[in-house]
Amino acid sequence: MTKKEKSTNPLWGGRFKTGADQAAESFSASVHIDKRLFEADIKGSIAYAEALKKGEIINANELSKIKKGLGKILQEIKQNKFEWDPSLEDVHMNIESRLVKIAGEAAKKIHTGRSRNDQIATDLRLFLINKIDDISKSLTSLQKTIVKLASENTETIMPGLTHLQIAQPITFGHHLLAWNEMLSRDYSRIKDAQERMNVLPLGSAALSGTRFNIDREFLAKKLGFKEISRNSMDAVSDRDFVMELASSLSILGIHLSRICEEIIIWASSQFNYIELSDEVCTGSSIMPQKKNPDIAELIRGGSSKTIANLIGLLALMKNLPLSYNRDMQDDKGFIFSSVDYSEDSINLLSLIIKGIKPNKETMRQDCYKGQITATDLADYLVEKNMSFRRAHEVVGKIVAYAESKKLQIFELDITELTKFSKLIEKDVINYLDPLKTILSRKQIGGTAPSQVKKEIKKVKRTLSQRK
């Protein structure tokens, strides 16, 4: 059969004299990507068939055949017995075509008053709502893992860094809770996105709604949607719910990347703050001593995909007129990639953190480097009624003097310190010892062990209340 003689698509080819060119057919097919929506598609079709019955568009016998047929198709797909045909373009037409073979004429009524436009918008929302539930549960599990490690290290001291330079002493538990805060906001963002996508498009048909008696309230209840779309054109032609989720997942990806970056730095021989478990590391093909943090590096690298996917979605949608355009079928590749990265990376990061063994002594020793309590010395002078800017200048000179003698400021004799300010007295020692300065940070959000323990209790309570 020549290309011109090729038969037209049985589901939409009535207007056409010939079938599509083979290259064009292959180019336009999306089933290799959107077949992942099969469960949502079948769920939506079952509900829609019931709505057709409720509207007296099909009878009970036809409904029964359709539901049985869709149930059979679901099992075929799950058992890898379903044959996906790229010539049928997408998941919807593949399933409907198979349904016609199983259920006969009854199946040909399933698309009454429905378009692939509102069908895909419904499928994608159902799929992503469920994926957000999965990601949310994984995020909660990751946060619990972080909090557990924090609770074991409320009094483990370490240097807090800015610009990767020693800045001020903190507790390891406090640093870990900073990770938790980032992830808590990520959780909120994706759940907020889920709320806004929980709107039923089905019943919008191609773009103008349907003349058939389709009870959309009934459909929403059947499919678990909280709301119904209020404009049929908007319902089928916008993908802001996809872009919003992609944005939230890109921010999550950045946070996962930053956490992994710190893990990689801490596990380096130069820092040696933590040891990673063997199960998340690899060796070198040439250097037998190596233990490389490969999984953390792959999570860090993979986060770039979430950023690229967001940009891809924004670029895809920015010039599209209302209503539906075929360009929009490419949205799934972007968001599926971000969803997959998020699920895998969250679970693997949890595995990494579970295996972390802090090298507490190394952390402690580094708290006695880098003039780490210089800020506390400035605070001491302020408490003695010196202006902060003047105190900053005085301490800067003390630091320069200490470094000229290759000493830390806490190693200077009191007589040396008083040369810079007569306000300095013997009680200054309480401001120069890293451990004592940590104990003083008792305010909400501070690094003092007492405050970190309070925060851990609060966080544990919050995490336990999540559904």
Query: Among all residues, which ones are annotated catalytic?
Result: 163, 284
Is 136 within 8 Å of 188 (Cβ atoms)?
A: no
Q: How far is residue 268's CA from residue 262's CA, in Å, rounded to a whole number?
A: 10
Question: What amino acid is encoded at 320 in this protein?
Answer: L
Report the run of H or E that residue 165 belongs to, with start and end.
strand 165-171
The alpha carbon of residue 105 and the mean position of all alpha carbons in its chain are separated, in whole angstroms, by 44
Here the tokens at position 31 are 């089933």
* Three-state DSSP state, 162: strand
**How far, in Å, are 317, 329, 388, 405, 411 from residue 399 at the CA level?**
56, 62, 16, 10, 11
Question: Which residues, in sequence order, are CB contacts of 308 under 8 Å at separation 6+?
Answer: none
Tokens of 9: 């698509």
Q: CA 325, 326, 332: angle at the middle one, nearest 5?
A: 110
Distance CA 159, CA 176 (A): 13
Per residue, the 3-state secondary structure of 248-265, as one string, reads HHHHHHHHHHHHHHHHHH
By three-state DSSP, how is residue 200 classified? strand
* Through-space distance between the first and last CA atoms of the chain, rounded to whole angstroms: 58
Question: Cα separation of 461 and 52, whole Å?
Answer: 47
> If you search the block for the tokens 């929302």, which residue do you land on?
125
The two three-digit tokens of residue 170, written as one number: 């903190």
Task: Give CA separation, 187 vs 21, 253, 299, 344, in Å.
Answer: 46, 12, 18, 16
Looking at the DSSP bridge assignments, the partners of residue 52 are: none
In which residue are the tokens 């679970």 written? 347
Specify which residues 358 forms β-bridges with: 274
Q: What is the spatial distance between Cα 314 and Cα 309, in angstroms, rounded to a whole number?
A: 9
- CA–CA distance, 190 with 270 (Å, rounded to integer): 37
10 Å Cβ neighbour count for 458? Answer: 10
The answer to whether the beta carbons of residues 387 and 378 sit under 8 Å apart is no
Structure tokens belonging to residue 179: 């990770």
Question: What are the tokens at 161?
Answer: 């860094």
